[in-house]
Amino acid sequence: MVKAIVNINEPANRILNIVKARENLRDKSEAINLVLHIYGKEFLEEELKPEFIKELIAAQNEETVKVDDWDSYFGLN
């Protein structure tokens, strides 16, 4: 476990106290960990499954088509 000294402003402190109380946590460290865990899911990519990587490699090797006019090629005009 890593220990850190952090400076937070009053609104952030109030939010941590609310999270701590609402989730019945022991201390603000647990509240910080919970908030970061929830928020971090939005930023961190999950590990790619080997089957998906194989599909990507296969797609890279597929033949491509050159399209000069996107709309007419897909019948959009």
pTM of structure: 0.56
The ranges assigned to domains in the chain are 10-73
Q: What average pLDDT does the chain have?
A: 91
Cα(60)–Cα(54) distance, integer angstroms: 10
Confidence band, pLDDT 50/70/90 cuts, at residue 36: very high
pLDDT of amino acid 47? 78
Digit-coded pLDDT (tens) for 43-73: 777 777 889 889 999 999 998 888 898 898 8
pLDDT of amino acid 45? 72
Cα(10)–Cα(18) distance, integer angstroms: 12
